[in-house]
Structure 1
Amino acid sequence: MLRSTSAKTLVFRRYQTTSYTFQRIPTLEDIRSNGSNFSGLFSNKAVKQLWFDRGNELVKNLNQAMAQTNTVLDREYSFAALAELSMNNPELAEVYKNASNSTSLIYFFSSIRPLSKKQDKAIRRVGYEEMLKTPGDEFGNKPRDPALVDWINQSFGSVRELRNLIINSARGIKGDGTVWLVAESTMSEEFLNKSMFTNPMYHNLALVNTYNGTMISDGERSGQVKRMKDLLAKLQREEEDNVRRKEAHKATKEQENMVQEEEGEKKAEEEDAKETVEQEAAKEKPTDLSDLQLGTVEKAEFDVAFLNKRLIPLLAIDASPRNYLIDYGVFGKQAYLENVWECIDWEVVSRRLPPRAKQVITM
């Protein structure tokens, strides 16, 4: 059995084995049965490979991984819940990988819809000459929900700026990766546990990149970037301390050579001085000036960015090469991303929005 505890761990117990099947999306089922394209974005061939073939392969691998690890569920878990429960167990790495990839794939395809015949855009392979052109700044697909538009304007400045950030973030991903639009809670998990508040409040929207098929997870991100940065800074300080000690030892050796060349009657006196220098060098600890500085606003924001905060995924944009190579070619990433924007289903995004807190208290 997989049982969720407060620490999000897994407990094994024998129950009836659960076998997963991949999710069905009616629009994509119609495309397969009709042999039509995903208007404005994918050919029928691309839909078959990216959704049906890949989705079935992921589920097949997931079921095999669960069978090999004797993983038996006490109830039916979604792909996202299964990934959450298995992420911290090395023995379930394959379970996590396939469940997480399935979650990202479902989020992407459930966030887009085919264009109408009037809106349909050509799906064509792009040559190298497209790389020399300035990316287009005109777009037609805009959210109509006033609440969502207001939220976007407050978080990013405008819908246009959100589009630019999403496309540029996706272009910056090399290899397998996804850009997520998320709602970020204003209160950390630690503060909620110590306060009278039972549910987090959401006020800001943010973009988060994930790589290699991983999905958005609160526990997976919480403080890891900051801890890694602090660890690297500590290692750098230790290396600098070692360099200073070596330089002090070198200076001592040079002084020792000078002492040996001096007159015999001063030798004892100089050796005492050398010993004193060595003792002082060993005790000396250079002052880290960064400890005496307040730091920048950017550093302060980085220290608390996504630290123990809830993240609700609203939109997923798959920027992986497999998504554009089939129809757009090796130079077609920009064209693919611009077409993806035109196919975003903003009604789906609006339905995923949590209640918004107008009064912001960031803790």
Structure 2
Amino acid sequence: MTLTLHLDAAGWREHLQSVRNDVPGLVPVAKGNGYGFGLARLAAETSALGVDTLAVGTSLEVDQVRAGGWDGDIVVLTPWSRHDPVATALLGDPQVITTVSRVDDLTTILELNPQARLLAELLTSMKRHGLGRADLPALRSLAPVARFEGWTIHLPMRSPDPLAEARELATAAQAAVEAPVWLSHLPLDDYATLRSELNVEARLRMGTALWLGAPKTRRTTARVLDLHPVRRGERVGYWQRRASRDGWVVVVSGGTANGVALSAPTSAASLKQRAVALATGALDASGHALSPYTIAGRKRSFVEPPHMQSSLVFLPGAAGVAIGDEVPVELRLTTATVDQVVDE
């Protein structure tokens, strides 16, 4: 009963090394579910790349990447909070670099542990975390008494001009304290341009584009667990919906526990994208939601919402699949949990 990520390991590692060679100052990001691969594996792969720093999302992930064999510096991307005892304990770890996004938190950290290694996050147009322009003078006086590792800029995914925003913020920061600049979500060409303009070191954090940037090196499959004929009008599933026509109920591995069909608020920006989102919502409301499973050459509709570890999919007409078959399943690997990763 497995949901499997099949990986062309040699091709994937060739892609990772290519990125490593093309991006001076690369800082791989390993957070959350490890982009579908797991944090321990990403820690091991980062070690093999020969970089000196790895970024994680939260303080709790520090131990997880270390368990995977990582023994270099670790940046914690979520800003320090006095309400996070693990983050506070890590202030004394000489290999951990803590992100700070408020002046009062910086003051508190210096009182707790003046030797803590710190990155100051700047507020971008994303409006999530960060110090504003009015906070920069305070950093001018505090940075000299801290182990200040630099400035960090986390850009939005759809900035109209990411280079202009990064350049403006970096310039303002350098005017306050000259220190390295760490960046996220800056296109490679823009990163090369900004790096050439700065008189300080530049680092580029990369997660999705690094780990998931070679889609042809991977595929995900589900196992057909069971197969049942059904007649039009017959009730099926937990919720006893009536079948719309004759066909088969195909029971496949993977459900909510694996992140199958997990959705999020739409990021649609264009009219076409919004129309697709509207059409998809209409299908969901009518009980004909398209599943991510491809059976007999086409994506098929769910019989009902996925179960925890399996899903019911409707296959019209004559059966074109057998129990034990592996069928393709499209997963969002940043939110999916596969049962196994198989190197091929």
Q: Same fold by TM (over 0.5)?
A: no
TM-score category, normalised to shorter length: under 0.3
- TM-score of the pair, normalised by structure 1: 0.20
Which structure is higher in helix share?
1
Looking at both structures, which has the greater relative contact order when contacts are Cα pairs under 8 Å and sequence separation is at least 6? 1
- TM-score of the pair, normalised by structure 2: 0.21
